[in-house]
Every structure is written in C-alpha cells, then in structure tokens.
Structure 1
Amino acid sequence: MDQLDLFGNPEAQTKTHFEIQNGDYIYVPDFLNKKKADEYFQALLDKIEWKQESMNMYGRQIDFPRLTAWYGENDKPYSFSGITLSPHPWSNELLEIKNRIEPKSGVEFNSVLLNRYRDGNDSISWHTDAEKELGQNPVIASVNFGAERKFQLKHMETGEKVELILKHGSLLVMKGELQHFWKHQVPKTKKKISERINLTFRVIK
C-alpha cells in the first residue's frame, strides 16, 4: 500500500506494514518532512511542561532516566510505574500532530505521553503499554523527533526480537495483540548524541 504524501515530502517512502507473531506494526520513516519535523521539535522543546518524575524502588526514590509530560483530555489521567499523571490541555502543535497521524492509525486518540531523552544516558527499559486504562489490544502511535535512537521489541514467550532505528519525523504504529505479547525499550547508548523527543499517542478508556 502506498503512503499518501500529505505533507509535501517528495521523498516520502512507501508505508511498510509488518505482521509479526501476536501483533503487527506500521513504520513510516519519513512521515513528516524535515522542515516540518524541525519546527515541531523546536516547539516541543520550548513549550511543553517537562517534568522529572521519580518512582519508589527498593525503598528509594529513583529518577526516571528521561523527562516526561502528559497531555490530552482533562478527564483522562494515566497511571504507570507507581505514578499517576493528570493531563495538561492539548497544545496547538500536539493537536496538529494528532490530527495528522489519526488517518494512518485508524484511531481517534485522546491522550499523549511525551518522553524527552536528553542524551544517550536517557532511556526506557523493557515494558508494555498494556495498562488497564488502555483496554484490549490498544493502538499506540509513536512520533519521533531529534536524534535517531534504537527501538527494540521482544516477544515475551519466544524471545524473538525486532529492532528499528526511529528517525526524525518518523511514525510507528503498534497494533493488534502486540502490547500483550511484546515488550519494547529504548536502550542507553554510549554514542554522543543530541536530544530526542518521542510522542506516544493512545486512547485512555
């Protein structure tokens, strides 16, 4: 299936749909052209209310190795890793991005979790987006800005792995049973890299 070039990017690649055991995903490396991706990246750096969250682990408060923010409809809090986030109202840029990805994702999203990776030491460990608020077989749409980072999937029963390099302006949509059978992570890297912002749009029930 050919990708519709909605954003004036003549080099946009064909949409790639992967069916894997117990799930499927779509990865569009050039979903946004560089000019538009650069504009969004700078706006997100400047305007989002970033916060350093922490969690209790073995009796100690441990900072998340990244900054986070939660935006969306005002009655949709989100709980994970022992914390509960109350959403900020949608910004203009987040609404624009949401409206652009929904036709590709086939879902109307009501919330977005933002992660800001300041350098290669920031990361997110193996986890699933399968909290009860997300319902059965949630669709998660991930939009990526800034430095390219390695994204890994691992099947919880077979150990099979899938690895992607998430590019500036790319879109990744995880669908089907994937969140119930596959973990995913963004590992640390020793490479000297600049900042990355990841938006994961979701539907809170």
Structure 2
Amino acid sequence: MPITFQTSLFDDLDADPQLESLGRTVERITLDDGAWLDLRRGWVTNSDALFERLAVGVPWKADRREMYDRVVDIPRLVSWFGPGSVFPDPVLVSARTALNDHYGRPPGQVFETAGLCFYRTGDDSVAWHGDRVGRTIDRDTMVAIVSVGAERVLSVRPKSGVHSTGPGETLRFPLGHGDLIVMGGSCQRTYEHAILKTKSATGPRISVQFRPVWPR
C-alpha cells in the first residue's frame, strides 16, 4: 500500500517507537453526568515509525454495512484483534499493559481488545456515535484511543435529550503523532464522538481503540 504523509518534526523513522509516562502527565477533562476524558499528548514517541509498520503490516479490510434500504461502503479501512489475539505490533501490547497499569484494572474495565481504523484521506470518516460496548450497558466503561500519522479532529458532543444541563458545546481534539485520549465514565452513553470529513489537505491517520470486553 503506497504511503504518503507529513511526518512529525520530532520523529525519527529509523528509531523504535517508545511509550512515555502516564501518571501526572495525563490531563483530566471533566464532562457532565459522570463522563470524562483523559488526554496525553505525544504518548508514543517516534510514532511515525509505528504508523508505517501498522499501515504495511495490518490485514486491513474494507467493510460494508446496511444503511436504510441499501448496503454502503464504510469510509475507512478497519482491522480488529479480540481477546487472546496476537496484536500486530509489540508497541500495542505494551500500550495495553501501560493503560491497564495506569487505570488499575477495575472490574469489567480491563482493556483487552484493539480495533484499528485507517483514515486514508480527508474523505474517510466515522459518523457521530457512542461505542457499542458502552451503549449496551448501564455501567461506566473506558475506551482508549491512540492516534498515529497525520492529525485528524476527534469531535465530542453531548447526546441530545440526555443531559440535565441542556445542550452543550462540541469539543474538538486534533489527534495524531502518538496522542492518547481516553473516554471514560458515562461518556459512551451520554456523549457521542466522530471523525468528520474534511476538505482540508490532510495525510493518513491510524487510530487504535483499546476496549474492555463486556458480557452480552
């Protein structure tokens, strides 16, 4: 797969990607109704090397889904690694362990799976949604997202009719080049998020979503 993207000024493609610390470097953003976001910029150093390894080494596929009365292509490439799967890169194994160490492995909220999305251009996107693992339960959960490659904006907004304080503003987080964001508390039930299409010139981005496994 041909890859063309603007690398970070701080990255060395010949150096191995590494994880920086979490702890006090994580910024907590408190939302309404028990939802919160944790942000850690530049968690993965030399992340452009990780982007290239994932772009080339992951078994990407183009999914389709039913929408109204027709089947449409999902505007991004995807790959998924379930519990017990061999992750496509050792850095992802280390990231999962570091996240579980940081958040203390609360019951039912241990990160186990990794879902990957490849946004090739500004036309690739994901619509407003709350992750299914959070929408089908009535308890808090966490979803951790690591972004490598070019920056794309993750938009987060309150769900209509959910919040006692009324409609809230849309928050926008440009994420890429090793940034980490964790959505926790009631976030998947009371907020929704999206990667919206953009006409601005942008390079490719890969996001890795670490999730727990909830019993159905």
TM-score (norm 2): 0.77
Task: Give 1:29's match in structure 2, choosing from 3, 20, 41.
Answer: 41
* Matching residue of 2:13: none
Verify the 8 A CA contact 1:130 1:180 in the aligned structure 2.
no
Deviation, structure 1 residue 110 = 1.2
Deviation, structure 1 residue 138 = 1.3
Aligned ranges for residues 1-205 of structure 1 at < 5 Å? 7=18, 14-22=25-33, 23-33=35-45, 35=46, 37-73=47-83, 89-93=86-90, 94-107=92-105, 108-131=110-133, 135=137, 136-156=139-159, 157=161, 158-160=166-168, 161-205=170-214
| Unmatched 5+ stretches in structure 1 | 1-6, 75-87
Moved more, 162-171 or 91-100: 91-100
Verify the 8 A CA contact 1:73 1:90 in the aligned structure 2.
no
Verify the 8 A CA contact 1:139 1:176 in the aligned structure 2.
yes
What is the one-letter code of the residue matched to 1:39?
A
Q: Distance in 2 between matches of 1:138 and 1:9?
A: 24
Q: Distance in 1 between matches of 2:136 and 2:103?
A: 15
Sequence identity, in percent? 27
Alpha carbons of structure 1 residues 198 and 105: separation in structure 2 relative to 1, 3 Å: farther
**1:168 aligned counterpart, secondary structure:** coil
Verify the 8 A CA contact 2:149 2:205 in the aligned structure 1.
yes
**1:46 aligned counterpart, secondary structure:** helix
| Unmatched 5+ stretches in structure 2 | 1-17
Q: Distance in 1 between matches of 2:119 and 2:19?
A: 28
Q: Distance in 1 between matches of 2:135 and 2:196?
A: 26
Q: Distance in 2 between matches of 1:204 and 1:71?
A: 12
TM-score (norm 1): 0.80
